[in-house]
Amino acid sequence: MVKVYYAPFARSLRVLWTLEEMGAPHEPVRVQFPPRLAQPEYLQINPLGQIPAVVDGDVTLLESMAACEYLTDRHGGEALVVKAGEADRAAYLQWLWFGEATLMPPIGTLVRNTFGPAESRNEQAIAEAKASLAERLALVDKALEGREFLAAGRLTLADISVAYGLNLGVMLRLTDTYPANVAAYFERIKARPAFQKAAANA
């Protein structure tokens, strides 16, 4: 059975959500944060001490979206993937990468400067990150105009990639700043039973 090592608000949400959408059996394993101090034995699974780690037999994956792609290949998640030759494949790939490579950097800056040590917080970095995030969300908002999902007219890994960042906005109290299409999209995401089940833990 697939084991998913997770912590609240970590990227493990993407993996647990994917598995719930697929209806695939899995075992969530809670990791105390920060692992290097609270649970050093976890470093035997992920030497970087980051979350998630996904273990499927003799395969261990440490990158959340790589794990999601692997799991859809391995455990019957074709509906969550837009395959080569299928309409909207390019949009799918764009948003699949956008969620981590473009959306997460300003969110990561906000997390560090909101929850990190007070002496290391930087108000200028916070302001710049909020401005950067607003630009990125404007692009998502435009893409969602007249659409329920980011690609192929259905929930895909592209949505799972992007919506994870939107969910962190709850912790950062940013959801009131989401543009109209993004806000409506996030409400649809939150209403999905698979998301709710995954988010209850992660």
| pLDDT tens digits, one per residue of 156-183 | 999 999 999 999 999 999 999 999 999 9
DSSP, collapsed to helix, strand or coil, labels residue 59 as strand
- The size of the chain, in residues, is 202
- What pLDDT is attached to residue 116? 80
pLDDT at position 117 over 90 = no
Rounding to the nearest 10 degrees, give the CA dihedral for residues 13, 14, 15, 20.
80
Helices (H), 99-156: 104-115, 123-143
CA 140-145-151 angle, 5° bins:
65
pLDDT at position 33 over 90 = no
Rg (CA), the chain: 17
Structure tokens at 74: 């391995």
- Average pLDDT on 140-166 reads 98
Average pLDDT across the chain, whole number = 95
* Dist. CA 127–CA 72, nearest whole Å: 38
pLDDT at position 201 over 90 = no
- What pLDDT is attached to residue 84? 95
pLDDT interval class at 34 (50, 70, 90): confident
57-69 residue pLDDT tens: 999 999 999 999 9
Place of tokens 């930087």: 122
Q: With left for phi above 0 and alpha for psi between -120 and 50, is residue 23 left, alpha or beta?
A: left
- Average pLDDT on 90-113 reads 97
CA 167 and chain centroid, separation: 8
pLDDT interval class at 196 (50, 70, 90): very high
Structure tokens at 73: 């290949």
pLDDT interval class at 187 (50, 70, 90): very high
- Average pLDDT on 96-120 reads 93
**What global pTM score does this model have?**
0.96
- What pLDDT is attached to residue 191? 98
* Contact of 198 with 17, CB cutoff 8 Å: yes
Domain architecture of the chain: domains with CATH: 2-80 (3.40.30.10), 89-198 (1.20.1050.10)
- Average pLDDT on 31-59 reads 92
Of 202, 193, 141, 142, give the one whose Cα is nearest residue 170.
Answer: 202
The one-letter code for the residue type at 133 is L
Can you point out the beta strands (E) in the chain?
A: 2-6, 26-30, 53-56, 59-61
pLDDT at position 35 over 90 = no
**pLDDT-above-90 percentage for the chain:** 92
Query: Measured in Å, how far apart are the chain's first and last C-alpha atoms?
Result: 19
